[in-house]
Structure 1
């Protein structure tokens, strides 16, 4: 008992010393919604409880230490929170790749969203570890729904490379989503007259094959505090180094009157190289290109109530043609700065009932070759801490 008390005292002393030098914050978002969707497999309907529909549920720890002279040491650890089941973390991929590219990947991570340490100062900020790719930052600036419904949002899943079914074989994760990259170094410059730039590189860590499973990206951004624009370019390699995934992503937002904000995004990605015959219609194929156009408007009815209308047009070409559209109406009511209730109605329409079209609806429409359209309603609440 005496030894235990001494140990606790020593740990307490270290904790006190650390808190005296650093600023550490625990934060998060807990979001849950009831969702009802028609025209699933066999024309059936589905009712579910889902986490993270307005914003992805998450929890994290972040902190900084003032090193003097304007220099700071920073860290951020952040993981997905599936509060509908209590699970934490998500899959990011693994080294045993198959041609159908598992959505979840072969490994899982508690801090699947962010896991980095770095320095910041007058020169900007450098972070090392698991970072968001630059395309997410670009379309995130002006996404028509402010990244709501992330699981079925074309800007997140397709422009942001978050769908493992489409992009699992590229980048440092070696499977699963490519929206965030392991083993990466990211630099963001300071803003000068509203302009800033960013660069990021992810190491594939394969001996003798420097480009295999790598990520490289550049981005530029402008903002005046209200309006803004961003553009990014990225190139990712598969594990062989012979096939590349390149993509452009950009967005503009502009407030036309105090109550109304207009948003526009454009993104496309192209696969170049020979992968061989895919085993499923969703697997990447030679010279495949996916393009997403997003349009939206926010209207502030009052300080508490905001109405959003959004439209996404998604097209696939190069290997075969496919298309799908989404129309979304979203209402948000802010009880406070931290608590928001919301409701949305989504209508998805594919070019046909074939998989080449319905898969571009990202799970909203049943993919049994019968349905070509579906409607989804969601009612939820979000609390941030």
Structure 2
């Protein structure tokens, strides 16, 4: 993303000392698109103006202070908004808000809300499309990035030659009840190699929910770039602890109390919904997503720059997930109680989903482009779309400007 300098101020210097140099850079994206989706409701398609087909609209500020001696102070604040209505795109006004210190010899450390290592690896090393890390309106891979961002994070970043690595740690801060949905404690690391032609990397991230249950994410992948050709492939897995033991099956009243709103089980349901948001956001997996045992995804695709202005790309995502199974972990009356709320799964049934997307992107200039996108989704097993259908098509036509 090309960033336009808002202001650069060089502090006054005397004959005896030179003051640090600071810069403040304003950057952003405004993206709006018209989208058609089949089977959005029972037997009904939808036509919408959506706030971002290729990218979510945003406004951000980067601050850099050169303190001399190879040290720099860094700040990033980034706000996301809906370009169609002007409203805030998420509960958090600042989707990123961190301060950092960079050394030319020892790397960089950042403190605050920021992207996690899984998101960093996906988007930097084997992104689904060369000219845009992912499609905002259709992003299955984000369903394995464990919410993409974490609060209360300390991240260390370092590079030696073509090898780059990150380590992240974030605190849960002992919250409980509704506040415990996020943040959660995390720890993980990623490593990648990039020589300009080949990019290869892997990452592991573990999150500990307030209930003590863990979610573990692993990603490996590579990409190859040769002139106008870009090819990518990756594999990812999320593993979830069984949280049915958070329910008390000793009696009907005890079960109802343990399943109550903002209880441990309810918080676990909501937390796992957040960790699978890349898929839930497209309404692909319903409540059955919350009792996942494992989810695996294979992603592969290619982008070709047909002309200096025109890029064509296609990507395939194949997903398979298993469940602990409400029917297998709960006595019949209690399984029926959860089924009435939309959660009824069997450990013997495997869910599958296939995703396909094709994109044509035309650049009017370095900052402004128009795009056409087609996507197709199929699901099977315990899960369906919210309207009960098992397949869906989408078409998006949009315009994006970056500054």
Question: Is TM more than 0.5 here?
Answer: yes
Structure 1 residues 26-81: Cα deviation after superposition (integer angstroms, max 9, x where no partner): 10010111000111221101000111221221110111101111100000001212
Please say if 1:367 is aligned against 2:386. yes
Structure 1 residues 258-302: Cα deviation after superposition (integer angstroms, max 9, x where no partner): 2211101211101114244678733522x6111111111001111
1:228-377 equivalences under 5 Å are 228-241=199-212, 243-255=213-225, 257-275=226-244, 276=246, 281-285=287-291, 288-319=293-324, 320=347, 321-351=350-380, 356-358=382-384, 366-369=385-388, 371-377=389-395
Q: Distance in 2 between matches of 1:296 and 1:78?
A: 30
Q: Give the aligned length.
A: 318
Aligned residue for 1:102? none
CA deviation after TM superposition for structure 1 residue 368, in Å: 2.1
Aligned residue for 1:173? none
Partner SS for 1:313: strand
Q: Is the 8 A contact 1:154 1:312 kept in 2?
A: yes
Aligned residue for 1:175? none
Q: Distance in 2 between matches of 1:337 and 1:292?
A: 33
Residues 1:17 and 1:194: Cα distance change in structure 2 (over 3 Å): closer
Aligned residue for 1:100? none
CA deviation after TM superposition for structure 1 residue 147, in Å: 3.5
Q: Distance in 2 between matches of 1:259 and 1:331?
A: 14
Residues 1:201 and 1:291: Cα distance change in structure 2 (over 3 Å): same
Q: Distance in 1 between matches of 2:148 and 2:84?
A: 23
RMSD: 2.3
1:48-197 equivalences under 5 Å are 48-91=48-91, 109-112=92-95, 114-121=96-103, 122-140=105-123, 141-145=125-129, 146-156=132-142, 158-161=143-146, 178-190=147-159, 192-197=160-165
- Quick one: which of 205, 211, 233 aligns to 2:173? 205
Aligned residue for 1:36? 36
Partner SS for 1:82: coil
Residues 1:226 and 1:55: Cα distance change in structure 2 (over 3 Å): farther
Q: Distance in 2 between matches of 1:27 and 1:72?
A: 20
Q: Is the 8 A contact 1:143 1:294 kept in 2?
A: no
- Which ranges of structure 1 fall in alignment gaps of 5 or more residues? 1-14, 92-108, 162-177, 359-365
TM-score, length-scaled by structure 1: 0.77
CA deviation after TM superposition for structure 1 residue 89, in Å: 4.6
Partner SS for 1:137: helix
Structure 1 residues 222-244: Cα deviation after superposition (integer angstroms, max 9, x where no partner): 11134311211010011122x00
Residues 1:130 and 1:138: Cα distance change in structure 2 (over 3 Å): same
Q: Is the 8 A contact 1:53 1:148 kept in 2?
A: no
